[in-house]
Amino acid sequence: MKDKTLTRRKFLELAGAAAAAGPALRLGAVAGVPQAPHPVRKTLKIAKWAHFLPEHDRWFEDVLARDWGQRHDTRVVVDHIPVEEVGARAAAEVAARAGHDLFIFPWPPAEYQQHVIDHTEVYQAVSFRHGNVDRLGHRSTFDPKTKKYFAFADSWVPAPLHYFEDYWAKVGMPLGPLHYGSLRSGGRRLRAQLGAPCGLALTPCLAGNVTLTTLLLGFGGGVLDANRNVVINRGARTVEALK
């Protein structure tokens, strides 16, 4: 986070560049910092949301982070944070102006863009090495007003939704619900006949965000218009979706 020190900012920028350029790139050489006779070993502290696949976190810490740290003479410390605690933990570190050097979110953390470095140099380094980042990653981490990147999208995952066709077929909907009205009526029949609950996540979480976005789009609304202007606070469509 930018409130820490200039050294932290440069370290993160160079860490991104090193990750893009591969093992031959040395942080000290790129930074232009004279090498001390007996340099103090650096430490990189990473906060990462706990993945729903434990194997992924073991690979990230025991293979990826350890290998990178050995190649760059850096001690890498990884803290895995439950997804439901990520927002509170990040807010606490911002308020304290202290914490982890790198914070990995499972969503684009636009609310913290005033407290982080501009990640443009990281994008440039990765693009030079591997090509342009996917359009979705760019739009998810770029502020069109400030022209800065508040994060770096290292990956994105499609979220296809599907229905248990056998369940819905038993209540007369072999193709699943076709609109919101049939979702409500069919959901009631699923619960009454099969004892299978059908609900929408409304809590402040990833699933809840999918619900809200889907409802907004389903009622003809949205968060942004075609020109990237915020429109969620306008119009009757948003009100109807929230109702």
Same domain, 79 and 97: yes
Is residue 223 one of the residues assigned to a domain?
A: yes
Is residue 133 one of the residues assigned to a domain?
A: yes
Is residue 188 one of the residues assigned to a domain?
A: yes
Average pLDDT, the chain: 81
- End-of-domain residue from the set 116, 149, 182: 149
Is residue 160 one of the residues assigned to a domain?
A: no
Q: Among 53-67, 98-112, 144-158, 218-232, which is the least confidently predicted range?
A: 218-232
Same domain, 32 and 59: yes
Question: Considering its fold, how many domains does the chain have in total?
Answer: 3
Q: pTM here?
A: 0.62
Is residue 157 one of the residues assigned to a domain?
A: no
pLDDT at 22: 32
Same domain, 135 and 22: yes
Same domain, 142 and 130: yes
Same domain, 70 and 137: yes
Same domain, 52 and 142: yes
| Mean of pLDDT values over 164-178 | 88
DSSP calls for 53-111: SHHHHHHIIIIIIHHHHHHTTEEEEEEEE-GGGHHHHHHHHHHHT-S-SEEE-SS--GG
Q: Which domain holds residue 179?
A: 166-199
Structure tokens at 66: 């350890």
pLDDT at 220: 81
| Mean of pLDDT values over 4-12 | 48
Q: Which residues of 64-99 are buried (b: 16+ CB within 10 A; e: fewer)?
A: ebeebbeebebebebebbeeeebbebbeebbeeeeb
Same domain, 105 and 141: yes
Same domain, 182 and 220: no
Same domain, 183 and 97: no
Q: How far is CA 171 from CA 199, 200, 210, in A?
A: 16, 19, 26
Is residue 159 one of the residues assigned to a domain?
A: no
pLDDT tens readout for residues 99-124: 999 999 988 898 899 999 999 999 99
Same domain, 175 and 98: no
Same domain, 14 and 107: yes
- End-of-domain residue from the set 115, 149, 183: 149
Same domain, 118 and 217: no
Is residue 155 one of the residues assigned to a domain?
A: no
Is residue 156 one of the residues assigned to a domain?
A: no
